[in-house]
Amino acid sequence: MASDLLSIAVSGARAARGALDVTAQNIANASSEGYVRRSLRIEEVSASGGAGRIGDISLSGSRIAEIRRNADPFLQGEVRRTSGDLERANVELKGLRNMESALEQSGVFTSIVEFEAALQQLAGDPVDPSRRAAVIGEATTLANKFNITASSFDAVGDGLRFEADAQVSEANIIGGELARVNLRLTRAGSGSSDRAALLDQRDQLLERLAGFTSVTTSFESDGTVAVSLGTNPPRSFVQGGTSGALTSAVAADGTLSFAVDGQAVSPGSGSLAGASLALTELASARTRLDTIAAGLADAVNNAQAAGVALDGSPGQPIFSGTTAGTLQVVMTDGEGLATAPAGAGAGSRDDANLSALRQSLASLDPAQQLSGLLFDVSSKVAGRNVTQSALETIASSARVSLEQQSGVDLDAEAANLIRFQQAFQASGRAMQVASDIFDTLLGIGR
């Protein structure tokens, strides 16, 4: 007889103990980030009898065949892809929102309207010193508001670039980690709990990397992964135990470009793609704001040059600077406003030049231009908002289906706990029976 009841029972008890350990591990990690539910595959150990001994019972109990990780590579890929898209939308939306706030909360639109109103008020009495002072005051406010908007834009760009910089160095750290995990995976025994933990780590690193740029992965049978970053075309980043270097460069207009090991790559998705998109938007909005500021300053200064000030001298420029950031009021005294046309005497109440100034401002319409800029930015924000919430739903449903499939269900674990506890008790009972049989045998002949 090739079977041994006691050792069968012991192997059963050992398998049940292992299953209980795995269950306890699952319960302990029910809310651990990136933990994939483990399950145990228990298989029978038996040998077929030799030639001529077909009828023999040849059983050896059970053993733990594999600690299985219940991860679905497709769902994990979906989570990576959708979370990358969501990150891109989030960062772009955040950048655009900050731009919108910079434009809206600096009140530059209101200050243009106030400047227009002050000019219109001056038309009521072009020689009134207080009305003239009001125009200079509003012009100063206007220039300050442009400056504030420009520096807020700078701050938005700095923030985006700073974050992108930090993410690039984090992506490089993740690349190094992935290469190390790859090396350890080649050494881990297949089906071991060590391997499962390494795979958890690998998937978590991949997910974090996908949050920065789009990743293309190819998995080997031993669990190691080769990673390429970005699109157009994807550049190889992690290959076996080696990882490349992701770098970023800032162009003159503040936009970002990326390269892996010196080869240009576009991030495709993820927060780096979002930052890159937002910075491009920022650069174009910045140019438009500068154009509005320069146009306004030009219109006012040109009209000034065509007229004479209150003392009859030729009109001097009110503004200096050609960008929103450098716009400044250089006229300090309201008497310098050239409301009267050239040739008018000192103290003239003729407002022909003021009318010309107001007319050229009206045809330039900086208020409308700024409102248009604000409209463009805010409608982009509104549009991206819709995209972002759609992507959020998609990403969260991908994550939920992955969690459904790979997460820990405490109720199922509770049931497993009872089940394996009973299996353990039953194996114990089998050992009891073996002992009883042995006692019976020993008692023969007493």
Partner 1 sequence: MINLSTGAFYERTTRQIGSLRARAESLQQQIGTGERLERSSDDPVAAARLRMLGRTERLADVDSRNSQLAEADLSLTDKTLGSVADVIVRVRQLAVQAASSTLSDEQRSAIGVEVASLRENLVVLANSRNIAGHALFGGQTAGAAYVDNGTTVQFVGTGNATPLEIGEGQSVEPSLTGPEVFEFGTASGPSDLFAVLGDLASALAAGGQGAIDASSAALADLDAGLEKVTTAQTVVGSRLNWIDLMSERRENNAERIADERSDVGGADIAVTMTRLQETLTVLEASQASFVRLANLSLFSMLR
Applying CB under 8 A, the span of 121-129, 172-180, 198-206, 210-218 interacting with partner 1 comes to 121-129
Binder to partner 1 among 3, 7, 46, 121 (CB under 8 A)?
121
Binder to partner 1 among 415, 426, 433, 437 (CB under 8 A)?
415
Nearer Cβ to partner 1 (250/394): 394
Applying CB under 8 A, the span of 112-120, 200-208, 285-293, 321-329 interacting with partner 1 comes to 112-120
Binder to partner 1 among 155, 173, 390, 412 (CB under 8 A)?
412
Q: DSSP secondary structure string, 73-134?
A: HHHHHHHHHHHHHHHHHHHHHHHHHHHHHHHHHTTHHHHHHHHHHHHHHHHH-TT-HHHHHH
72 binds partner 1 (CB under 8 A): no
127 binds partner 1 (CB under 8 A): yes
Contact criterion met (CB below 8 Å) for 289 and 149: yes
403 binds partner 1 (CB under 8 A): yes
Nearer Cβ to partner 1 (45/364): 364
Least distance to partner 1, CB of residue 194, Å: 23
CB-based burial of residue 50 (10 Å sphere; 0-12 exposed, 13-18 middle, 19+ buried)? exposed
Nearer Cβ to partner 1 (23/214): 23
313 binds partner 1 (CB under 8 A): no
In which residue are the tokens 């990882």 written?
243
Within 37-56, which residues bind partner 1 (CB under 8 A)?
37
Binder to partner 1 among 109, 146, 258, 424 (CB under 8 A)?
109
Main-chain phi, psi angles of 101, to 5 degrees: -60, -45
User: At a CB cut-off of 8 Å and minimum separation 6, what does 30 contact?
Assistant: 407, 408, 410, 413
User: Would you state the structure tokens that stand for residue 103, as one six-digit string?
Assistant: 């434009």
379 binds partner 1 (CB under 8 A): yes
Least distance to partner 1, CB of residue 133, Å: 15
Nearer Cβ to partner 1 (117/166): 117
Binder to partner 1 among 182, 255, 348, 369 (CB under 8 A)?
348
User: At a CB cut-off of 8 Å and minimum separation 6, what does 86 contact?
Assistant: 388, 391, 392, 394, 395
Binder to partner 1 among 2, 166, 390, 414 (CB under 8 A)?
414
**Dist. CA 103–CA 86, nearest whole Å:** 25
Nearer Cβ to partner 1 (179/367): 367
Nearer Cβ to partner 1 (125/163): 125
DSSP-based three-state secondary structure for 33: coil
Nearer Cβ to partner 1 (411/439): 411
In which residue are the tokens 């299985």 written?
68
75 binds partner 1 (CB under 8 A): no
Longest dimension (CA), the chain: 145
Applying CB under 8 A, the span of 126-134, 169-177, 289-297, 327-335 interacting with partner 1 comes to 126-134
Least distance to partner 1, CB of residue 413, Å: 8
% helix / strand / coil in the chain, to the nearest 5?
60, 15, 25
Within 352-371, which residues bind partner 1 (CB under 8 A)?
367-368, 371
Cis peptide before 233 (omega within 30 of 0): yes
Q: Which residues of 332-362 are buried (b: 16+ CB within 10 A; e: fewer)?
A: eebebbbbbbeebeeebebbbbbbbbbeebe
Distances (CA, A) of 271 to 210, 227, 307, 390, 415: 9, 18, 54, 17, 42
End-to-end CA distance of the chain: 25
Least distance to partner 1, CB of residue 112, Å: 9
**Dist. CA 256–CA 275, nearest whole Å:** 8
Q: What residues line the site for partner 1 (CB under 8 A)?
A: 30-31, 37, 70, 97, 100-101, 104, 109-110, 113-114, 116-117, 120-121, 123-128, 345-351, 367-368, 371-372, 374-375, 377-379, 381-382, 385, 396, 399-400, 403-412, 414-415, 417-418
